Amino acid sequence: MRILRTIAEVRAAVASARAEGSTVGLVPTMGALHEGHLSLVRRARAETGLVVVSLFVNPTQFAPTEDLDAYPRHEEQDAAAAESAGADILFAPSVDEIYPRGFATSIHVSGVTEVLDGARRGPGHFDGVATVVTKLLHIASPDAAYFGQKDAQQVLVIRRLVRDLDLPVRIVACPTVREPDGLAMSSRNVYLDSESRVRATALNRALEASAAAVAAGVTDPADVVTAGRAVLAEAGIEPEYLELRSPDDLRELDAVDGPALLLVAARVGAARLIDNRILEA
């Protein structure tokens, strides 16, 4: 595996691979790689000829009050993990390489960014995500780009972005990878102390409780959400949101009469955690 620092190096490597008839897969990450990230790398390895993993803590998607400076950074460890999962290239640019002096362009996706994390983290969050993903897609020119379903809203934003800008890339959403006790794997799990780590399992159990309610025939969204909130309350967790939305465009639902996306975000100890599940009526 090669570690590349510049856009020119990545473009040259991709051009060389394409000249040999290879397809290209891109796995965008902010580092602190865990099994969830590595499952994306392995999927890309199985489906494409050249696997590019980007490692870039994107400052434009963090609000001033968020954890940019504290976000875990372990490049040597991440490089070894990416290589073991099958990456060919680790693209680890500097901030100046991605956002050179005078950079003044931002991508805004309407319709799926104003609610949930967009409402909680501010309008700049998904603008930052959309902008850096657009840049990475242009830099690596992949046939497919791989994202985790844990970040369900982000996946919808990127799908809308790719559709609206006619970008020639297939967006692949891979299943959420969980710890044995059900906690969704996240780079921010390292912020959890032992007590918070136990409490954090309530997020997945809340999703399970709401899923059980739907399986039992409950169709009123308020009642479905109430089942999940009861589990969170028992763990002493007040969610930032726990909402049922359309899995296609995040519109609010009047009834659970088909697939529904239940999303949760909550602060548990020092960590802000998110999770989600598709509920089937």
111 is in an annotated binding site: no
138 is in an annotated binding site: no
Helix (H, G, I), strand (E, B) or coil at 157: helix
* Encoded amino acid at 72, one letter: P
31 is in an annotated binding site: yes
Catalytic: 37?
yes
154 is in an annotated binding site: yes
- Catalytic, out of 37, 74, 125, 138: 37
**What separation in angstroms does the CA of 12 have from each of 7, 16, 18, 49, 242?**
9, 6, 10, 15, 45
Nearest Cα residue to 154 out of 170, 171, 168, 139 = 171
CB under 8 Å to 4, separation ≥6 — which residues?
10, 13, 89, 90, 91, 92
Nearest Cα residue to 190 out of 9, 33, 29 = 33
CB atoms within 10 A of CB 239: 21
61 is in an annotated binding site: yes
Structure tokens at 85: 């999962």
CA distance 78 to 88: 13
122 is in an annotated binding site: no
188 is in an annotated binding site: yes
77 is in an annotated binding site: no
151 is in an annotated binding site: yes
1 is in an annotated binding site: no
33 is in an annotated binding site: yes
Query: CA-based diameter of the chain, in Å?
Result: 58
Q: Which residues are annotated as a binding site for (R)-pantoate?
A: 61, 154
**Binding-site residues for beta-alanine, please?**
61
Residue numbers in the known binding site are 30-37, 61, 148-151, 154, 177, 185-188
- Enumerate the active-site residues: 37
Indicate the annotated binding residues for ATP.
30-37, 148-151, 177, 185-188
